[in-house]
Amino acid sequence: MGLAEHQSAERWQLTGVDLDTRRRRVLEELALKGRTDEQARFRAELADAVHAFQQTEDLSRLERVVEGWYRHAVMLRYAPGWADKLDRLRRGERPEAGQRGPFTLEEALEDLGLPDPG
């Protein structure tokens, strides 16, 4: 089994995951999905948050950046159609008739039969 197959088969723990593991998983998932623009945005937001931490020693911004992107990576990994839906919404397109609009992480995890991380 190649690295990509192993990574895609691995089930991610959703709670109790340390900051660096979440950071690595975000970068890996964005790379696996070919979302290089998002990878660059994540790296830029991460650099800003690290800089803020160095100035203040307050981890809250760094934690928010990584957690927000981690939730996005979880959705990319486990929610079929998430990437397409998100791309359409970013282009300003409305959901098609009969389709749900954006939904919460908790709703998506429930649809997938995964535990709520909260």
Say if residue 118's pLDDT is above 60: no
Secondary structure letter of residue 17 according to DSSP: -
* Average pLDDT over every residue of 50-69: 94
Say if residue 5's pLDDT is above 60: no
What pLDDT does 3 receive? 42
Q: How far apart are CA 107 and CA 29, in angstroms?
A: 21
Instruction: Report percent pLDDT > 90 for the chain.
Output: 47
Query: Among residues 72, 8, 15, which one has the least CA distance to residue 42?
Result: 72
Q: How many CA atoms lie within 13 A of 6 on its CB side?
A: 3
Sequence-distant (6+) residues with CB within 8 A of 82 are: 75, 76, 108
What pLDDT does 78 receive? 87
